[in-house]
Structures are given as C-alpha cells and as structure tokens.
With several copies, the nearest count.
Chain A
Amino acid sequence: MKKIFRDCSISVNIQNSDFDINSEMDLIKSEKKIGGITNFIGVVRDSSKEEDQLLSLELEHYPGMTEKAIMSICIEAKKRWKPNYIRVIHRIGILRKGDNIVLVITASAHRKEAFKSAEYIMDFLKSRAPIWKKEHFKTYSKWVKSKEKDELALLSW
C-alpha cells in the first residue's frame, strides 16, 4: 500500500513504528504549488477521570482491509477538494499515553482544501477504518465504545 509519492499523491501506511512529522513534511514541501499544509495528529489520551490511570492503549486492525478502507476515504477527499497531496499513517499495536496514534497530512495551493480534506479523513477514520482500541487501565481493561457523535459527524459531509 506504500506508494511512491511522485506516482501517486495519496499514500497510506499502517505500522507499529512511530512517524516523524518533520520528515513527512519535508517530502511535501519539495512539491511545487503547495501553499498550505494541514496536519492532524491523534495522540493517546488518558480518558480516566482520575489522573494517570491509563497503562496502555492497544490497537487492533483488519490487515488488508484497513489499508483499502483508508485509501477509499482518501480518494473521496481527493475527489471533493482536489488537494495535491494526502498522507495517512495509522499506528497499531501497544501505545502509551502521549504516543502518536495517527497522522493525516493534506496539502494544497490554498488552505481551505487542505483543512477540509484533513477533517473529512479524520471523521471517516473514526468509524470507517477497521481499527479497534482497547484501553488498559491500572485496575481493568475495556474496549473503546464507538460514539454516536462520530457517526453523526459523517452525515455533515
């Protein structure tokens, strides 16, 4: 699923390892006609009411389908706003509080197209990418429940 940037302006990776925002950005800035770059980084947040309860966040996914599903979301964003460049990296495996989970970078000549594409992709990743999160707290573990508002967010597009 990793595509060479010159051949395809959409590139998606599912990986255990972390990503480096600066080097991802450098790839984009070498492109002509880029005026605005939006990026969104999702990080592991401790959702427990008391502090310091989260030991880890486990991300499970559906190998093969995940890449396809995310690619479809990106293609739809590309159709709608014609950004010059879309990059998605989604991490899986065991992560700790503050770790990066997901990176979405979109770039275009003007800011609006970059913002809309990134927001659209994030909204759809939430409930259309076959990924499931399990929170491991000090005293118990639980699968993260999907939120109704995430499903409603899709209706606005």
Chain B
Amino acid sequence: MKILYFSWLREKIGVPFEELEVTSSTVNDLIKELIKVDQKYALAFEDIKLLRVAVDQKVINDLNASIKNAKEIAFFPPMTGG
C-alpha cells in the first residue's frame, strides 16, 4: 500500500511517501500499526485533531473508514489552499 504524507506531516515522517505491507483494515488500525513500527509516526500523529486522511484521494471523516482494497492512503494537516 502506498502511504503519502504532506506538509509538516511529511517533514516529521521524513519522506513524501512509502510503500508498506500493512495488515490493518481501517485507518485507525493503520495509525496504530505505524506507531508500533517507529517513534516518528507517534510524533507525527500526536495531535489527532490536526490529522486529515484521504483514502484513494477521497477525504474520510471517520477514522474507522475501511482501507481494504485501498491503493493509497494520505495523511496531512488541514488544507490551506486558495
């Protein structure tokens, strides 16, 4: 699964994206799975209020959203476009 990071989340993780084999079936589980792998994920995901997630380029509003069959998951802070 391709996992992408943007803005200061990218800076905290240290890479714009990575290809990982994951076993989780929801976004929430994926976050927990990543935190177990490395401390940097714990730091990046520390303030859950500032965390936004897109599954296959669609923003999800519930961290219990399924990621089964998903091709890419993106983590980023609130958008500041325009």
Contact = CB atoms under 8 A, between A and B. Distances in A.
A and B touch in the complex (CB under 8 A): yes
Contacts of A146: 77-80
B44 to A, nearest CB: 13
Contacts of B59: 128
A125 to B, nearest CB: 4
A126 interface: yes
Contacts of B6: 60-62, 130, 132
Nearest to B8: A143
Given A68-B57, A132-B6, A134-B7, A126 B77 contact: no
Contact of B54 (A42, A62, A101, A132): A62
Contact of B82 (A65, A122, A151): A122
A109 interface: no
B67 to A, nearest CB: 16
Chain B interface residue count: which class?
Answer: 10 to 19
B80 A133 contact: yes
B82 A132 contact: no
B27 interface: no
Interface string A46-70: 0000000000000011101110110
A127 B78 contact: yes
A134 B8 CA distance: 9
Given A62-B76, A132-B77, A134-B7, A126 B82 contact: yes
B3 to A, nearest CB: 13
A130 B59 CA distance: 10
A41 to B, nearest CB: 11
B4 interface: yes
B31 interface: no
Contacts of A42: 82
Interface of A: 42, 60-62, 64-66, 68-69, 90, 101-102, 111, 122, 125-134, 143-146, 151
Given A125-B81, A131-B80, A132-B79, 15 more contacts: A61-B81, A62-B57, A62-B76, A90-B81, A111-B82, A127-B80, A127-B81, A128-B81, A131-B82, A133-B80, A143-B7, A144-B80, A145-B80, A146-B77, A146-B78
